[in-house]
Structure 1
C-alpha cells in the first residue's frame, strides 16, 4: 500500500495552504485566512492542541471565496450565502446547472450571471423591502445616507434603508446618523491611501490586488469598530 493511501486525505498547515494559493493570489496572508475563518467562510479541523488542519476542500473553498472577491467584487456576506447554499446541497442563486465551485468556472462562466445579480430597485421597491416609510426615505436622501441613479437604488441603498428603518424603532432618526456617513468617508480615505501604490499602476493584476486589499482593510476596520463599540457596551455592566 502506498504511503499516501496509508495517510488518508491530505492535511495541510496554514503555510502549505498559502503556498498552494500564492500563484493565483500573491497577496494572500495567514491573517487573511484566519479572518475568513472568523467570518465563517471556512472551518478547518483542529487538533486537540488547537492547531488548524486544512483539507483540500478548505483550499478549494478559499479559492472560490478569493476568486469571487477579486473577479466579481462580491462582498463576503454574499459569498457566504453562496457557500451556505452549496453546503445545504442547493444551487446558489444565479448559478447555472453546469457550474462547479471552481474559481476558473466562476471567472469564465459566471461573470455575466453574477454581474446580473446587482439589482436596481425603484423607490417603491426599496420601501417595500426595507420597511422604510416615504418620510424616512426622503430624510435618508436629504442627509446623503442613500443615493439613486435615474430614480433607482442599488443593494447598498437597500442595506442602509433596512438598518435605518430598524434604528428608527429605537428612536434614532437620519439626522442622528450623519456621523456614520462622515466616518465612512474617513474610513474610505484610509483605505484609499493604503492601496494608493497599487491603484497608481495601470495593469489589471494590480487593480485586482488593490480591490482585494481594499476589501480586506475595510473588513478589518469594521471588525475594529465593532470591537471598540462592544467594549464600551460591556463597560455599562461593570
Structure 2
C-alpha cells in the first residue's frame, strides 16, 4: 500500500490544498504534524508542492498521500528520512522496492538525538531536564550557562528547538565559543522577530484557519530568508578576511 500511494504522488493531479487544509486532513491520523514539519519534508525533497503566483504552497491529493506515506514509515518502521527518500525515489522510477526494514525503537531514538544537531526536528517533543542533557550531550554547567545567557529559558519541559540549540552549543563549546559569547544573537533574534511580525500583520487579519496558516507559512519563510542573510554575511566576512 505504501508503494502504491507513493507512486500516485508523482501523478499530475491539480494542486489545490493549502498547508492548513493538509493539516486538517492528516491531523487526526498524525496529531504531531505541524506546518514546519510539512515544510521540512519539502526541504528534504520528499514532497514537491506547487506554488501560486504569490508564492503560496498548494498541495494535490497525491501530495497529501505522499506525506501520509512518509509519516507512516517514520512512525511504524522508525526509518530516517534519507532511507524513506531512497525508497520513494525507487517507487517514482517505477520500481517495486520492499519497504525498508524496521529499526528498533532504541536505535531510532539514538539516531534522532544524533540528527538534532543537523536540524532534523521531532515534532511534539517534550524533554525533562535530564533527558535534554542526555540527548544533547551537554553538561549541567553548559545548560546553566545557556540559561544565564538568555539562550534557553528555564522550563519544566523542553522541545525540539531547545534540543537543537543545546546540541549546537556543545559543538561550539568544543571550539571555545561559550553561551555568554552568543548574547548578541539573542538580541538579533528579537530584532528579526519584530521584522517578521510587522511583515505578516496584514496576513493575520483573517479569522479563519487558512489565514492563520498563511501567516505562519510566511513567517517561517521570512525566518529562513533572514537566516540566509546572516549566513551569507558571515561567509562574506570570512572571505574578505582571507582576501
TM-score range, shorter chain: 0.5 to 0.7
Name the counterpart of 1:71. none
Matched, 1:41 2:34: no
Larger radius of gyration: 1
**Counterpart residue number, 1:104:** none
Count of matched residue pairs = 167
Q: Distance in 2 between matches of 1:129 and 1:176?
A: 23
Q: Output the aligned Cα RMSD.
A: 4.0
CA 1:43/1:153 → structure 2, altered by over 3 Å: closer, same or farther? Answer: closer
Unaligned runs of 5+ in 2: 1-9, 20-38, 49-58, 69-78, 88-99, 104-121
SS in structure 2 of the partner of residue 144 of structure 1: coil
Normalized against structure 2, the TM-score is what?
0.56
- Structure with the greater relative contact order (CA < 8 A, sep ≥ 6): 1 or 2? 2
Whole-angstrom distance in 2 between the partners of 1:232 and 1:220: 18
Q: CA deviation at 1:64?
A: 5.1
2:124 maps to what in 1? 118
* Residue matched to 2:158: 153
1:86 shift after superposition: 2.1
CA distance in 2, matches of 1:148, 1:123: 9
- Asked if the contact 2:17/2:60 (under 8 Å) is kept, the reply is no
Structure 1 residue aligned with 2:203: 198
Deviation string for 1:190-214 (max 9, x for gaps)? 1111110112321111001101111
CA shift at 1:146, angstroms? 0.9
Q: CA deviation at 1:148?
A: 4.1
